[in-house]
Amino acid sequence: MAVYLDHAATSPMPDEVLAAYTDALRLVGNPSSIHGAGQAARELLETGREELARALDADPVEVVLTSGGTESINLAVKGMFWAARAQDPRRSRVLVPRGEHHATLDAVEWLARHEGAQLEWIELDAEGRIRLDALDSALAAASGEVALVTALWANNEVGTLQPVAELVALAHAHGVPVHLDAVSAFGQVPVRVHEVEADAVSVSAHKVGGPVGVGALVLARTATVEPLLHGGDQQRGRSGTQDAAGAAAFAVAASRAVAEVPLTRVAALRDRLVAGVLATVDGAVLRGAPGEGRLPGNAHFTFAGADGDALLYLLDASGIAVSTGSACQAGVPELSHVLIAMGVPEPEARGALRITLGHDSGDADVDAFLAALPAAVAGARAAASAS
Amino acid sequence: MKILAAMSGGVDSAVAAARAVEAGHEVVGVHLALSRMPGTLRTGSRGCCTVEDSMDARRAAAKLGIPFYVWDFSERFREDVVDDFVAEYAAGRTPNPCMRCNERIKFAALLDKALALGFDAVVTGHYAEVRLGADGVELHRAAAWAKDQSYVLGVLTAAQLAHAWFPLGATPSKAEVRAEAEARGLSVAAKPDSHDICFIPDGDTRGWLAERVGAEEGAILDRSGDRIGTHPGAAAFTVGQRKGLNIGYPAPDGKPRFVLEVRPVTNEVVVGPREALAIAELAGARYSWAGAAPADADAGFACEVQVRAHADPVPATARLEAGELVIRVDEPIEGVAPGQTAVVYVGTRVVGQCTIDRTVSAVPVPA
């Protein structure tokens, strides 16, 4: 039987979300049309937007629907950079922690190459947490020149929760807006935009059981972005026909996921998995923050001396779907920049494994994983020393 | 058997994998990521490391219903093949990177990993045959002589051949392989063959080397050691080369000049008439046997030797002498440069090979 422990890659769509999605897909009408069909679609869209806003502690007018996490992050990072620089040409610095998701890394590097942005990398501690003292110094050194701070709400690989409220307060004290990438945090921990006073927050539907290709950028009323996509001006900062069915499905998935927070059942399963791995595999090291300091569904290990490709192959051959957690180029897992930023030595970073549990995970999944892992690690270590 | 099929994204490896599946084996497809910076798309017929090739391999594996993975060998490939290629050229030799890749990546790093993971053999789309003879495994030329790749596999040892399977070896032609791919619904059926060196996607080997080896002007000498011209960097030259010398005036006899020797240490290129390219003997200390060692290796045995992937084999005698495999050709041959591999055949069978360290000219230097 297949064991799916890669919810952070994408989470299976619950039946009620699927039903809401397929029902909505039957509805004819462009939400921007004036006729009755258009109005029906608009009603579905705006109801979804309201429900999403509630799930995110935001106002409906602040919810910009997008094609997913990557677009949301690009809109926030590039759009806020352009808007800040337009207001004040001195604001060309972007403060960004090491260990961000590639959607952020590649967006800020693009800004550096093409728009003259100066990037300041903020160090992480050994558990993958942003060092607020380093952020503070960077802000203090040049606050009049900083366009924005962008950071993960929780690290997508090692699961470490970031001190987002403190981070936002720190940046705001220097008059700098903040974008938070909550793609992996949403549905796992409370993502309350007003409460943390973030200027922009990115989320994605398929990470909480919604459809792929749907996401949102929560953009505070006071925040401004230059759009990425130009066209019919359907939303604030974004053009393109709005996806009513996607919004409806995302809303159901989000409400359902948020209602389950705190994920005490999932966290307990995860804790059992972590304890089992540490007890049965020599040299296994849990990476990221322990216990409450990390996403409840996330476990992340390194197995020194193991070959990552072989480890994934052996687990997959045993019917277990997990990931290395790091980005892929042409399907090849890269050495994790997050682990490197945390100071993990390269040989240990090679044998990394991310296990992420979700709403449909159960004891049987954990048992199957724990049963298969020791032999897989042994095989991956043999493969590493053979080749 | 449990088989690991190395799938490049080309038609040959796809059909080889298909045959392994059809023979009833448990097959897993693997594409080797050999570059960390794959070009986005294939251009023309070149390259084997692009995103497109990886995708083609994945689609073929899906069609065959086998699991598929991309395994990262980019570091090993860079060290053992690319860096070796550059170092060999820098040392004035002419390496064959495909051979190095077979020797150190496909049938070493990959094969060792496969065996450690419980596989019995690695399957590739090479045109060659592994047979079981009286003394164990033997490597033979492919039935499709025009496509025969036994030369680039000549470096494999008995231990490696014991776990290698080339299902296309007995197929009489590439056309047949393409037709089979078409019939199996593999999208790569009409994909062009790959040529040239996969890590030099634009095919400009000289320019690529110049960037890495560095180029300083040096002397072009004639066979008696007189300076007759200037070259832009010795490392970019290869023995037998005629073009690109730009000496500017003809040889006294009016005949074209050819590169006879490259001396990287002194940054000198020696040129001379075509006759002087004729080689009577070649030898190398880095030799191996593709199966059991020949019983008469010390006494010497009649064979044929092939010095390039697409060269004709020529009659010769091979013997082990003072730690070297020494090959004396019956008639002088051209186009032999240190660094090339001499593969020794008896009939269709590959007996062994050596990397050529030195050659003995058939024509003495005129006094």
Q: What is the pLDDT of residue B38?
A: 53
Contacting B residues, span 41-70, partner chain A, CB-CB under 8 Å: 51, 54, 58, 67, 69-70
The model's confidence at residue B168, banded by pLDDT at 50, 70 and 90, is: very high
A379: which chain B residues are within 8 Å (Cβ-Cβ)? 116-118
Between A185-189, A320-324, B182-186, B204-208, the lowest mean confidence (pLDDT) is in B204-208
B284 is in an annotated binding site: no
Instruction: Test B69 with A312 for CB contact under 8 angstroms.
Output: yes
Alpha carbon of A387: minimum distance to chain B alpha carbons (Å): 4
Catalytic annotation, pick one of B48, B49, B98, B101: B101
Rg (CA), chain A: 21
Alpha carbon of B343: minimum distance to chain A alpha carbons (Å): 26
A302 vs A339: CA distance, rounded Å: 9
CB B42 within 8 Å of CB B188: no
Instruction: Test A332 with B70 for CB contact under 8 angstroms.
Output: yes
> CATH 3.90.1150.10 region(s) of chain A?
262-386
B259 vs B245: CA distance, rounded Å: 8
Instruction: Determine how β-strand A320-321 pairs with β-strand B164-165.
Output: unpaired
* Among B209, B253, B176, residue whose Cα is nearest residue B82: B209
Q: Write out the H or E segment, with its range, that includes residue B62.
A: helix B51-64
Q: For chain B, how are helix, strand and coil distributed in percent, rounded to 5?
A: 25, 30, 45
A382: which chain B residues are within 8 Å (Cβ-Cβ)? 116-117
The burial class, CB within 10 Å (0-12 / 13-18 / 19+), for B145 is exposed
Task: Name B138's bridge partners.
Answer: B131, B291
Residues 6+ apart with CB under 8 A from A234: A31, A32, A240, A241, A242
B241 SS3 class? coil
Q: Quick one: closest CA in B to A319, which residue?
A: B67
Q: A264-280 and A363-386 helices cross at what angle (nearest 10)?
A: 40
For the segment B71-75, the average pLDDT, to the nearest whole number, is 89
Alpha carbon of A334: minimum distance to chain B alpha carbons (Å): 9
Q: What is the pLDDT of residue B213?
A: 82
Instruction: Test A309 with B54 for CB contact under 8 angstroms.
Output: no
pLDDT exceeds cutoff 60 at A289: yes
A239 vs A65: CA distance, rounded Å: 10
Q: What is the pLDDT of residue B43?
A: 45
Our answer to whether residue B48 is catalytic in this structure is: no
B278 is in an annotated binding site: no
Contacting B residues, span 99-118, partner chain A, CB-CB under 8 Å: 108-110, 112-113, 115-118
The burial class, CB within 10 Å (0-12 / 13-18 / 19+), for B207 is exposed
Instruction: Pick the more confident residue, B85 or B215.
Output: B85
Q: Which of A320, A329, A350 to mutate to test the interface with B (most CBs of B within 10 A)?
A: A329
Instruction: Test A332 with B72 for CB contact under 8 angstroms.
Output: yes
B118: which chain A residues are within 8 Å (Cβ-Cβ)? 379
Q: What is the pLDDT of residue B219?
A: 92
Q: What is the pLDDT of residue B137?
A: 96
Q: What is the pLDDT of residue A328?
A: 63
B113: which chain A residues are within 8 Å (Cβ-Cβ)? 307, 310, 383, 386-387
Quick check: A313 contacting B, CB < 8 Å? yes
For the segment B313-328, the average pLDDT, to the nearest whole number, is 97
Instruction: Test B116 with A382 for CB contact under 8 angstroms.
Output: yes
Partner residue opposite B117 with nearest CB, options A330, A379, A385 = A379
Rg (CA), chain B: 22
Other CB atoms within 10 Å distance of the CB of residue A110: 14
For the segment B339-362, the average pLDDT, to the nearest whole number, is 94
Contacting A residues, span 139-198, partner chain B, CB-CB under 8 Å: none
For the segment A238-265, the average pLDDT, to the nearest whole number, is 97
- The pLDDT tens digits of the residues spanning A141-180 come to 987 999 999 999 999 999 999 999 999 999 999 999 999 9
Task: Name A235's bridge partners.
Answer: A238
> Measured in Å, how far apart are chain A's first and last C-alpha atoms?
31
Instruction: Test B71 with A332 for CB contact under 8 angstroms.
Output: yes
The burial class, CB within 10 Å (0-12 / 13-18 / 19+), for A2 is exposed
B36: which chain A residues are within 8 Å (Cβ-Cβ)? 329
Alpha carbon of A383: minimum distance to chain B alpha carbons (Å): 5
Instruction: Pick the more confident residue, B280 or B43.
Output: B280
Partner residue opposite B116 with nearest CB, options A312, A333, A383 = A383
B343 is in an annotated binding site: no
DSSP character at residue A291: G
Q: CATH number of A59-230: 2.40.100.10, 3.40.640.10, 3.90.120.10, 2.60.120.10?
A: 3.40.640.10
Quick check: A19 contacting B, CB < 8 Å? no
A314: which chain B residues are within 8 Å (Cβ-Cβ)? 117
Q: Write out the H or E segment, with its range, that includes residue B329.
A: strand B324-333
For the segment A324-335, the average pLDDT, to the nearest whole number, is 67
B150 is in an annotated binding site: no
A387: which chain B residues are within 8 Å (Cβ-Cβ)? 76, 108-110, 112-113, 116
Quick check: A377 contacting B, CB < 8 Å? no
- The pLDDT tens digits of the residues spanning A10-49 come to 999 999 999 999 999 999 999 999 999 999 999 999 999 9
Quick check: A379 contacting B, CB < 8 Å? yes
pLDDT exceeds cutoff 50 at B42: no
> CATH 3.40.640.10 region(s) of chain A?
59-230
Q: For chain A, how are helix, strand and coil distributed in percent, rounded to 5?
A: 45, 20, 35
DSSP character at residue A63: E
pLDDT exceeds cutoff 80 at B367: no
Catalytic annotation, pick one of A328, A343, A347, A360: A328
Alpha carbon of B316: minimum distance to chain A alpha carbons (Å): 37
A53 vs B152: CA distance, rounded Å: 64
The burial class, CB within 10 Å (0-12 / 13-18 / 19+), for A335 is middle
CB A325 within 8 Å of CB A300: yes
Amino acid at B227: R
Other CB atoms within 10 Å distance of the CB of residue A57: 16
B365 vs B272: CA distance, rounded Å: 10
| pTM of this structure | 0.89
Round the average pLDDT of chain B to a whole number and report it.
Answer: 90
What domains does chain B contain, in order, with CATH numbers? 2-183 (3.40.50.620), 215-276 (2.30.30), 278-361 (2.40.30.10)
Catalytic annotation, pick one of B48, B98, B198, B354: B198
For the segment B140-158, the average pLDDT, to the nearest whole number, is 95
Instruction: Pick the more confident residue, A106 or B274.
Output: A106
Instruction: Test A332 with B112 for CB contact under 8 angstroms.
Output: no
A57 vs A194: CA distance, rounded Å: 6
CB B67 within 8 Å of CB B60: no
pLDDT exceeds cutoff 90 at B203: no
The model's confidence at residue A329, banded by pLDDT at 50, 70 and 90, is: low
Q: What is the pLDDT of residue B41?
A: 46
B296 vs B300: CA distance, rounded Å: 6
pLDDT exceeds cutoff 80 at B236: no
We find that the CATH architecture of domain A262-386 is: Alpha-Beta Complex (3.90)
B28: which chain A residues are within 8 Å (Cβ-Cβ)? 313, 317
B31: which chain A residues are within 8 Å (Cβ-Cβ)? 331
CB A179 within 8 Å of CB A149: yes
Instruction: Pick the more confident residue, A333 or A341.
Output: A341
Alpha carbon of B109: minimum distance to chain A alpha carbons (Å): 4
Q: What is the pLDDT of residue B89?
A: 85
Tokens at residue A205, please?
Answer: 């539907």
Our answer to whether residue A352 is catalytic in this structure is: no
Phi, psi of A253 (to 5 degrees): -65, -45
CB A60 within 8 Å of CB A46: yes
Q: Quick one: closest CA in A to B104, which residue?
A: A387
